[in-house]
Structure 1
Amino acid sequence: MEACNAYYYATRDPLGSRGDFTTAPEISQMFGELIGAALAAAWQAAGAPSDAVYVELGPGRGTLAADALRVLRSAGFTGDAHLVETSPMLRKAQAEAVQGARWHEAIADLPERPWLLVANEFLDALPIRQLAGGKERHVVVAGGGLAFDRDGEIDEESPAREAAAGDVARHLASHGGLALIVDYGHARTAPGDTLQAVRGHRYAPVLDRPGEQDLTSHVDFEAIGRSAVDAGAAVTPLVSQGEWLNRLGIGARAASLVDANPERAAELAAAVQRLTGKNGMGELFKVLAIHCPDWPQPAGFA
């Protein structure tokens, strides 16, 4: 999974109608703006530390960063933007969207300052292990193609995700800041096979065309929260994306945009429904915040 996704992201822009999938920031500017507002409010409540920086893990085309930073700048934030991205193609797009951005290969390379961090659909693409009947499941060559070597009740675990959450949490506990984690997944650890592949906006067989389709699985938020707490950070309750965006005022923001652009009313209504509705991203996607214990809990979680 790690090798396939590394090649996949390094060799294409996977986003949009010409790509394989669409993320929330590409649906509407409102998503990034509300994330920026949540970060700005938490930063101001923490005393507006001047050495804080904006950090994003897996920032796609830079759309979310551009929208969030626009709101942060209006609140007086002057920190640099630091992007963890390994794809040369996506770095090029990010450079156009986020002026003056700085890139890093890994979380460990980021500066030792307070972070205002966002990870939107980042953890789901990190590699997992599957256990079938208590034994690790492997991929083998069979019949001229790839196949799993065993079946049965599946349990999934992701040491890579838990390590990333722990690294972020340790930094926040030591240096200050917060992280907003937005992804699809489940609130409690449970058995089940959630590994999936997407190509051309459709699900595809997971072992088909390795490196040519996006491989993801559902994030176990209970495991992520446990790793963060073990690393010394504070963790908010988990909320659905729809509930979180509604609490932050996506309806009011949409109304404001409609007032300024009446011709966009239908488009904006559709975007709100897609981002918050049960038949869109509203229930499947969840939001969790990890923050320094000395920083207040960010908005939208209580």
Structure 2
Amino acid sequence: MKGYVFPGQGAQFSGMGKDLYDNSEKAKELFNKANEILGFDITKIMFEGTDEELKQTKVTQPAIFLHSTILAAVLGDAFQPDMVAGHSLGELSALVANKTLAFEDGLKLVYKRALAMQEACEKEPSTMAAILGLEDDVVEAICEEVDGVVVAANYNCPGQLVISGAVEAIDKACELATEKGAKRALKLPVGGAFHSPLMEPAREELAKAIAATEFSTPICPVYQNVTANAVSNPDEIKENLIAQLTAPVRWTQTMQQMIADGCEEIVEVGPGKVLQGLFKKVDRKFPTSSAAI
């Protein structure tokens, strides 16, 4: 069984998607359609933009989504997933790839999500930090010990958990993690506390947009961030997608569940190789590769 996985924010790079645009008429058509839907020339930023321009949430999220979904579309008959999953934003890419969402609807939701998250970030100074080398339960206990908003946000792989919350609470949690023997407690260059209660205003915004969007029965199950389980019911997929903004990304559990359910190979669709690296942390010998035309 083959699983396809789709990366989230942080995988972007200048020049992303240009090879697809140059070598495929279908890709060119989809990129041009994306520019129309968004109302600005995102392809120009993707192909020629600076790292600074690409780092803006309202650019980053649709850019990664476009790279992933257009690559999956261009693969054509070679794209035969038995299961899909996406890390955070990547879950929306996965839902277009497995035909739950139409490309246009997926892009509109991604852009709405990006703008809503950007707005939520501006309401309160907040951030995220990666804690390396501690057991998950130790990091969870540290979060509970600290005053203020700080929660486990991304269970990336064994020994790597990202926390999210108010700046002061994150600083205190990093201090405690270092005292308890963390190899590193590193604040991340992000604009806000994604996958935490501070994203509640964005969750409410996105919930309205998701409620108004048609979700179809997928061609294969999606392993969703909120539950780490395979889901095929469109209503359940909607609920989990809404919950995702304020709930943790259970990627460690997702990888373990996909393997337990019979996945024998992973193909990463989109920029970078981050997710392949995380699968290797679960099982060093697990076969992984990047999708390519």
TM band (smaller chain) = under 0.3
Higher CA-based Rg: 1
The structure richer in helix per residue is 2
TM-score, normalised via structure 1 length: 0.27
The structure richer in strand per residue is 1
